[in-house]
Every structure is written in structure tokens, then in C-alpha cells.
A and B are shown apart, each in its own frame.
Chain A
């Protein structure tokens, strides 16, 4: 990569579009160039710059698992200029992708441990990559628990996969919606993620907690985890900041001295505690 122009994106063809929730779509992307498909690799937690040429680039995680070869997936909410243009794209269209960038979840170090995933709203995508990675190498991990909440039933993403996880005997799935977000036939929990987590009370013994969600959810989830006995080294999250380049040059995603794009996006709560509040 070092002798090439890093800004040139891979050309990706949209193979499949899934409408996940209002304004939220998943793209399955395949490399236009067979050779790129062969050489490309990434690890759980990494991200990239997705683009519509002539409009711009936008930063999202790779939401599919590295164990699923031949394609990558991203899930995004239509919010700004680039995501609005992406949302108009159709199956068969070409988009750009640069990456993978950033560090990864230390999954090799998690072998033999229980995994507890806690996600809120549109923050399930970065975690879905890790969840499927863990499920595809299921023998490496003990209990897998997923606590996932959204504003309303409609806002839950990956509805088919939630059903699949629920039906698996080797996964414990707890879903919740904010009070008022339930439907008449809703069978999950009603309440905010931190309080549902407290009620679920997973054991901290030999367990890694991976948390991803809006800042307010994270803020109230960390104290619950500490109360449950999780140490700050065993809690992981992934940060987001505005990015342009993705590899530590454009100068905007830093939190103190740490670049989210290069030193992150994955941080342990222990690392996070040392950083200034600049995210």
C-alpha cells in the first residue's frame, strides 16, 4: 500500500440493500476488481470511508464479520449529505470504499471467556461484526450474551438476525425498547439499556463486556458494569469522531494526543479514563 495513492478507493458494487429501520440501510458490497477481493482483509472493529463520487466520503465501521469472505457490509442512517446520496443508490450501483483503517477488538485475547455485548440503536452495526466473528468461531468463547435496545420496535436493526440469535441455544439475547416505543405484540423488555442490563445482571466472572451506543447510554452503562463487578480493563467500546482521511493526517478526530482513526476506534474503559473529554 505504501507506494500507492492511499486516497484512491476500491470500486464496490452494491449487491444487496436491506432496509433495517426507518432511514437505516445495509449495503452488501462486492469488489469490482477480483484481485482486490483476493488481497483485501480486515479484522473486527475496523472501519472505512464509503463514498459516492462527486458527493463525498462518510466514515462507518465494517458491519460484516471478517469470517464472511468475498464481501463487506455497512449499515448507515441517512443523516447528512453523503449518507443521503448513499441512501439513493440502488442495487448494482458503484460506490467507493477506502480501508480498512484503525485498530481491532483484541478477540485473540478473549479466547475462553464469556462475551457480553451491550448496544443501543444504530450502534449495533460495529458490534454485529464482532458478534458474527465470535459465533463463526463459537468454540473459542464461552457464554455469549447480547443486550440490545432501541427507541422503538421499528428502530431495532437486523430484525432477521435478532430472530436468528434468539433461536440459537448458544446465545442469550435480551432486547428492549424505550418506554413508549413498544408495540402491542412486543415480547421483549421495556426500559433503557443500562437498567435492563442491571436487571439482566450478567456475571462479571471471566467476562468481557463490549459496549457501543449513544454517549448518554455509554455514560450510564459503565457505572452499571462496574457495579456488576467488571474491571475497567474488561470493558471495551468503540469511539466515533469526525474523520476525513482515516489514517491520522487530517487532524480532527484526535482526543487529546490519541487519534481515534489510528490509535482507535477500539478502546478499553481503562484507556478511555485516561483521555480528556474530547469525544
Chain B
């Protein structure tokens, strides 16, 4: 669809929020918590913070919850009954305040859950999510979106992208039919598009590496001292995977209460030693360096080889959250 551009004034943005809340939508937006900004359920416009580069957590949990019920069961002497969680009703969710990197992450994430098998639960959630993103007007040294085909004003994945202009008003770029519908419902809040150049109002994010070059190098780098060098401090805590908007590796666990229970899909991490451990005690990825290598290869070699897009959007969350101060950029730029 052809992009539609509008101007929306700052006070109208709040009205738009109130219209959405008024129509019963669930809204997740950045909320200040101590020094952090976190995507969280918000009920009032005043709860939203604008003071963040990216939130500490990603927005992926609205489509890929940390714990997702796949089915529930009830066992009795005579029979076993299964209730399919795919038949549940999933909420309509608006993500307000996603950054272009967050929105871009929905592309590889959706791709992963839609190979030969189209994940019915993931897709049911995804269809009901609307992304209202905000361009970045500040960045930090952890950001590298421009190295992975994105950028501080990139529209990929967003339904509407708002860019703050010098006067405090916003440029609204409507990217999808879903975004169009939202604008139509509150059309009185939108004005003809401003003349302002969008790019002049964006943060500057330096290009740190060439993704194609990294992909080519990784093809023959399975055995290399860099993995050990760069992972020596790794604690195997898995926080990089938990904050990553693209990471989607999962575990399957059962939770039983007497003769009833649920079958669950839970976030997992290739950084955990238990991730690949066989029952026999054999572990194909025995060391933390083998696990770090898997993380890098999966994102920058395996996913791009398969889907032509990187499994990383350059948000820098993994590096910001690492308790051992391991920076993914340091590994990527030292290959």
C-alpha cells in the first residue's frame, strides 16, 4: 500500500491515545520504573515515559509470551481430555512507543513461527497487534540499527511511525491497512502532512559493520579463537536472549496440578548449559564459548542464509543488559 503522511499535533496524540483506551483496546507502552523504561500495560497517557532510547525489555512478549499455554488436559480413569489453547480468544493489543528496531524485529520473529508449520497461536496473537512506533531522536553507543538494514526512522514492521518534529508536533507515516483504519477512526486528529524533512529530526546511529561481510566471514569461522576470547566473561545467565526482540528459542514444559495440567511453551536461551544437554550427560555445546558462537552464528549466518534477513535488529539490548559487560558489537567488529 502507498504510505500516507499526516501531521499530528502533540495534544492530538494524547487524544488519540484516549480514543484507543476508550474503545477498549489494551495498550502496552514504555513506563518508567526506577532508571528503566519497560513495556507495560498502561491505562492513562500520563503513565507513558518519553525518556528512553529503547525499553529494557522488548515488545516480543505480546506475540510470544514468556510462558504460553499450548493446551490443557484433564486425566481421569476412563479418558484423557485435551483443551486446545489455540481456541482461546486473544486480546487486541496496541504497542505504543515501539522503536523502529522493535518493529523491525517482528519480521524475523514472524518468519520463524511461519515456516513449513504456521504457528496458529503465534499468528492469532500477531494478527491482533498494532504497532504505533516512534522514531528515535537519541541513541547511544550500544545502538547499531544502521548496520543491520534498519535505522532510527525506519518504517519496516510498524503500522504507523511517528517522528517528533522540532516544534513538538509529529509526522505520522501510515504504513499498513491496519494503520489506515486506526487513522480513519480518529481522522479529525490528523492534519495534512508537514513540509518538514523527517531525516533532520532523527538520531544519528553510526554504521559499525557490513552485515553481508559478517555473513560471508562467518561461513568459515566455526573453529576460531574469537569465540573463546569474547565469551570468557559469560555467566550463561541468558539475559541477552530474554531481552532480545528476535530471540525465539523455547522450551516445552508441563505443569501439573493433580490430574489436570497445562502444556507450556517457555522462553529459553542458547546461553544456558542445559539447553542442549542430553540425558546421557553428553552435551554437544559443552562450553560457554560454543554457546556464544551459536548465538552469533544463528543471528548473523543461519537466519540470513535461510531468510535473507538478519536475526538481529541492532537495538543493543543484549549488551546493555549483560551483567558481565559482554558487547555483541565487540565480537562482530573483531571477526
Binding site for B on A (CB under 8 A): 1-9, 11, 51, 53-57, 79-80, 83, 94, 215, 240-242, 244-245, 247-257, 262, 276, 278-279
Contact = CB atoms under 8 A, between A and B. Distances in A.
Contact of A4 (B75, B120, B306): B120
18 contacts: A4-B120, A5-B70, A5-B84, A8-B71, A54-B75, A55-B254, A55-B256, A56-B254, A241-B278, A241-B284, A244-B251, A247-B117, A251-B250, A252-B270, A256-B222, A276-B222, A278-B284, A279-B284
A1 B270 contact: no
Contact of A57 (B252, B256, B290): B252
B189 to A, nearest CB: 39
B82 interface: yes
Contact of A53 (B80, B85, B277, B298): B80
Main SS of chain A's interface residues?
A: loop
Q: Which of A54, A241, A250 has the most CB of B within 10 A?
A: A54
B21 interface: no
Q: At the interface, is chain B mostly helix, strand, loop or mixed?
A: mixed
Which 4 pairs across A and B sit closest by C-beta, in order of nearness? A54-B256, A251-B249, A80-B279, A7-B70
B142 interface: no
Contacts, number: 118
B199 to A, nearest CB: 37
Contacts of B120: 3-6
Given A7-B252, A256-B222, 8 more contacts: A53-B80, A54-B261, A57-B252, A94-B80, A245-B252, A252-B249, A257-B306, A262-B116
A241 B276 contact: yes
A215 B115 CA distance: 31
Nearest to A6: B117
Contacts of B112: 249
Contacts of A215: 282
Nearest to B279: A80
Best-surrounded residue of B255, B282, B305 (most CB of chain A within 10 A): B282
Nearest to B73: A53
Nearest to B219: A257
Nearest to A77: B279
Contacts of A244: 250-252, 268
B117 A2 contact: yes
A53 B263 contact: yes
Residue among B117, B119, B223, B270 with max Cβ neighbours from chain A (10 Å)? B117
A189 to B, nearest CB: 26
B71 A79 contact: no
A6 B277 CA distance: 24
A101 to B, nearest CB: 10
A251 B249 CA distance: 5
A247 B116 contact: yes
B287 to A, nearest CB: 12
Nearest to B223: A276
B121 interface: yes
Interface in B225-266: 248-256, 259, 261, 263, 265
A56 B285 contact: no
A54 B254 CA distance: 5
A256 B37 CA distance: 36
A83 B280 CA distance: 12
B285 to A, nearest CB: 7
Contacts of B256: 53-55
Contacts of B119: 6, 249
A249 B302 contact: no
Nearest to A253: B276
A86 to B, nearest CB: 13
Given A7-B263, A53-B73, A251 B278 contact: no
Given A8-B82, A278-B284, A53 B254 contact: yes
Contacts of A51: 254
A79 B280 contact: yes
A241 B278 CA distance: 7
A257 B305 CA distance: 9
